[in-house]
Structure 1
Amino acid sequence: MSALSPISRAACIGGGVIGGGWIARFLLAGIDVKVFDPHPDAQRIVAEVLANAERAYGLLTGAPLPPRGTLTFCASLSEAVADAQWVQESVPERLDLKRRVLAEIDVGAPPEALLGSSTSGLKPTDLQEGLAHPGRLFVAHPYNPVYLLPLVEIVGGAQTVPATIAQAKAVLDAIGMKGVVIAREIEAFVGDRLLEALWREALWLIKDDICDVETLDDVIRYSFGLRWAQMGLFQTYRIAGGEAGMRHFLAQFGPCLQWPWTKLTDVVDLDDALVEKIGAQSDAQAGGLKIRELERIRDENLVGIVQALKAGRGGEGWGAGKLLKDFEQKLMAQAGGAAAPGIASPLVLLETRVSPAWIDYNGHMTEHRYLQVFGDASDALLRRIGVDLAYVEAGHSYYTVETHLRHLDEAKLGEALVVTTQVLASDEKRLHLFHRLFAGSERREIATGEHMLLHVDAKAGRAAPAAAHVLAKVNAIADAHAAMARPDAAGRAIGQKVSAAA
């Protein structure tokens, strides 16, 4: 079981855009996932979504993720759900189809398993009809891409028990998502009702030739879309009200609601001509980019926005960035609580793979990622000796003050990476480390990194002795490593010749 999540086994019924996103989100949280989807290309589609998700996570966070869950494709729905703790239904948006699928899940899944539906607008009460265990069914409506966008609307039906909602929220919170509980069920819930209003008006603007689809998208992404990404609607308008706030905004702009600015009460006729018009404009807007290319561009942009939000409010984080920051702290705490390795040999504290996000124009792992991997190994050692989040928040840490890297070989996409760490020396303020990076199944050495770390009192802004409990752990490792051979590359200067023995 993932130390983060209250569950270790999930089943996903449907592996399309949304189902594939759920699969990736669960797997990357360390949860085993069984999948049933009769589509002949289901495995290919899921593999492509998962590859994009892993690439996005490589950009999003350097925190140590739990070991990836096991992905299993099943020949039948009953096989997929037989031992699941959470079943996520993501089949097409037809009430009759969803009822049939949910009824089959209800029979095959353990009675205590949570049962979430990805429906975009159907009421959970309607989905519960005929189920033997209706109390465990709820709507878990996510947003695409599920592996990056954290929001899930949790909506209970007339027969959903409160414990189901609480358990669902706990699981989502544990895997880095934001489960928001909608107080009353209503068709399309909250998010899609807002999107429907905007979508309806947008279709009229295209039909009436006010603008084309690219112009309309530009209006959103260069203006209020940026505001919404970090502050939503009401807080944005609060600021628009100036010092007098929301009340002034409502007094000033409220009368506009009576003006004939929109056609929200009218429904545009999506006839063949309008469909072709929108389709042709959308094709032109895409500029030949394929769907997976567009997804990767979208993911990179979302990562950049979330990373900026993580640095917001003086580093405390804001909105989705604050959620990521909190999730990373959980990941760090989990890594710090892992079973301690022996210290009689170089420590193996970091194992990872070359992410698609790490590949440069030459097709190999780009230069700065070597430093990132060594930095992650140093962080793993610090957690090992007690320099955890609580220690850092108390105002003390180790800062890297000198680094020497050697690039010995190339790392290729997807290759397994292992870092070994040897403590060369230590005292009450200094920590001298030597990392070696190995790649591939043959464990060829591709880089070394020598680092000098200095213990600091961050509040005082100066070097200071480490705490006694930290020094005790450092000294134990340093004493064990003192008997090891000193690496030939230790202490080398740039350009220095390597000895024949090396």
Structure 2
Amino acid sequence: MAKIEKAACIGGGVIGGAWAARFLLAGIDVAMYDPHPEAERIVGEVLANAERAYGMLTMAPLPPKGRLTFCKTVEEAVAGADWIQESVPERLDLKRSVITQIDAAARPEALIGSSTSGIMPSELQRDMKHPERMFVAHPYNPVYLLPLAELVGGQKTSPETLELARAKLAPIGMKGVILKKEIEAFVGDRLLEAIWREGLWLIHDDICDTETLDDVIRYSFGMRWAQMGMFETYRIAGGEAGMRHFLAQFGPCLSWPWTKLTDVVDLDDALVDKIAEQSDAQSGERSIRELERIRDENLVGIMHALKGADGGKGWGSGKILADFEQNLWAHAPRRDYRPTREPLDLMEIKVLPSWIDYNGHMTEFRYAQCFADASDALLRLIGVDRGYVTAGNSYYTVETHTRLLDEAKLGEALKVSAQILPSSDGKKLHSFMSLTRASDNVLIATCEHLMLHVSSAEGKAVPPAPAVMARLEPLIDAHRDLGVPEGAGRSVGQKR
């Protein structure tokens, strides 16, 4: 699998810092150059937000975080890098100069991507000695969460460069989309510019204020676009007759005088003041960092919801997340599997802001999630991974009993351990899990969990594959003499 071995980020603002965070959390060392006197602070704050977001995003084991090094020159930063991301301010002369400087110092085979929002790559690669390896890799903020990068080649960019860039983005959880032709502002920003321009006119003409406009987007078509985009959404709007019917029904609207897209609004002082005042009233009580954290929590929630879509295969950005997690599990260090006569430590977790209810405690269904994730960890330990499931066999949960014994609060570290009960025989996997607070080992909850090994093709319970049984049987034997844990076999409401 093509992967990035070492990255260099030239420019460490909002975008450059977030690129660095994406690389670092994928285990990639990053060399950073930014002459701004507070670059280290700014990048550090972006990285802190990214680490917080990843703590909510996935339970898959991230690789050891890459090492971040701040360099004093461009030449020092790009030395040895195989992916170099330029994210300096959006001025053609500056970007062209920096990219030419990168080109002269970098290894000839290193990929050079630009984060430009609209400048065509042919303009940027004009003075390069190796222009075939330069392209636009236009991301979306926050780069560490939103998985898309528009890959745009210039006149001198080789097709192999774009394909290699797309392949190298996949292991870090990003989807590279290759545009067929270069064009100013590419695809995403052209769409955003159209909505932005129309939005400015709506505010200018006092049709609505900024909060109302944002509400229209986020409570309606924004939700549809988040999971299905524009054309597939409109295909559904055409009903059973599909896109042809939609175009026939709504196509004539294009000739109606609804839009002011051909007119440019005058951003004079009065309009700037109006927008700024309305924006301050809308969200000015929150700091930028607080808004970023709220944004990240919302994006994580949407991606998690989409990860469970389409029968658990994932949809849209949720599928990218599922594939990213699969890659993380595949490359995670294997646990030293030595069954001992004590419960198995399966996982550690932290109570996240999105897990808290109105009482300030972890909400009920998150307890179930902890135990479900721990069950997955147990199955992976005995060899029941995605490949095993794809081959047609898996364990299915048939019964659980959860007790909530104490409260878990925001930020607390929790751990889950499991004891395999003697009734387990391979076809039946009967476990008793304990959720404890890491700081004082107080028992928070327990879950008695019964799973059956099932053949999907046969539609019935069958013994597991010999390789799985070979890992499970020693574990059953090791736990046989532990005795029945307190709470096992209890019924709901049973007196102590």
Pairwise CA RMSD: 3.4
- What letter matches 1:179 in structure 2? G
1 CA distance for matches of 2:29 and 2:403? 37
Separation in 2, partners of 1:76, 1:410: 48
Instruction: Give the Cα separation in 1 of the matches to 2:305 and 2:368.
Output: 22
Task: Find out whether 1:168 has 2:171 as its counterpart.
Answer: no
Counterpart in the other structure of 2:93: 96
Map 1:317-332 → 2, pairs under 5 A: 317-332=314-329
2-side partners of 1:368 and 1:242: how far apart? 36
2:255 pairs with one of 258, 264, 270: 258
In 1: Cα distance, 2:467 partner to 2:275 partner: 66
The gaps in structure 2 that reach 5 residues or longer are none
Shift of 1:93: 0.5
Instruction: Report the Cα distance in structure 1 between the residues aligned to 2:110 and 2:349, rounded to whole angstroms.
Output: 32
Q: Which amino acid aligns with 2:394?
A: H
1:472 is aligned to 470
Q: Is the 8 A contact 2:8 2:32 kept in 1?
A: yes
Alignment match, 1:87? 84
Q: What residue in structure 2 maps to residue 69 of structure 1?
A: 66
Aligned to 1:341: 336
Shift in CA distance, 400/102, structure 1 to aligned 2, threshold 3 Å = farther
Provide closer, same or farther for how the CA distance between residues 245 and 364 of structure 1 changes in structure 2, counting only shifts above 3 A.
closer
**What is the correspondence of 1:370-385 to structure 2 with a 5 Å cutoff?**
372-373=369-370, 375-385=372-382
Cα deviation for residue 124 of structure 1 reads 0.6
**Match status 1:7 vs 2:4:** yes
Report the Cα distance in structure 2 between the residues aligned to 1:291 and 1:324, rounded to whole angstroms. 26
Superposed displacement of residue 117, structure 1: 0.6
Mean CA deviation greater in 156-165 or 318-327? 318-327
1:243 positional shift: 3.2
In the superposition, the TM-score normalised over structure 2's length comes to 0.85
Q: Name which of structure 1's ranges 397-406 and 221-230 shifts more when overlaid on structure 2.
A: 397-406
1:432 CA drift (Å): 4.9
Cα separation, 1, equivalents of 2:120 and 2:489: 67
Which residue in the other structure is 1:185 paired with?
Answer: 182
Distance 1:245 1:413, change over 3 A: closer
Residue 487 of structure 1, CA deviation: 9.7
Q: How many residues align?
A: 488
Q: 1:359 to 1:242 in 2, by over 3 A?
A: closer
Shift of 1:191: 0.9
For 2:427, the equivalent position in structure 1 comes to 429
1:397-419 per-residue CA deviation (whole Å, 9 max, x = no partner) reads 1537446679799788486x776
State the partner residue of 1:232: 229
CA–CA distance in 2 between the matches of 1:253 and 1:436? 58
Counterpart-to-counterpart distance in 1, 2:420 and 2:71: 47
**Bigger CA drift: 342-351 or 87-96?**
342-351
Residues 54 and 354 from structure 1, CA distance in 2 versus in 1: closer, same or farther, beyond 3 angstroms? farther
Q: Distance in 2 between matches of 1:410 and 1:306?
A: 24
Aligned partner (choices 105, 117, 122) of residue 125 of structure 1: 122
For 2:318 and 2:407, the matched residues in 1 are separated by 36
Aligned partners of 1:404, 1:243: CA distance in 2, in Å?
45
Stretch of structure 1 that moved more, 168-177 or 216-225: 216-225
User: Once structures 1 and 2 are overlaid, which stretch shifts more, 286-295 or 421-430?
Assistant: 421-430
Distance 1:130 1:358, change over 3 A: same
Q: How do 1:10-49 residues align onto structure 2 when only pairs under 5 Å count?
A: 10-49=7-46
Gapped regions of structure 1 (runs ≥ 5): 498-502
Residue 218 of structure 1 aligns with an amino acid whose one-letter code is D
Aligned to 2:265: 268
Matched with 1:147 is: 144
Superimposed CA distance per residue, residues 155-209 of structure 1 (whole angstroms, 9 cap, x where no aligned partner)? 0111112221111100112222111000000110111111111211221222222
Take 2:97 and 2:495, find their aligned partners in 1: how far apart are those partners?
71
Structure 1 residue 54 displacement after superposition: 2.9
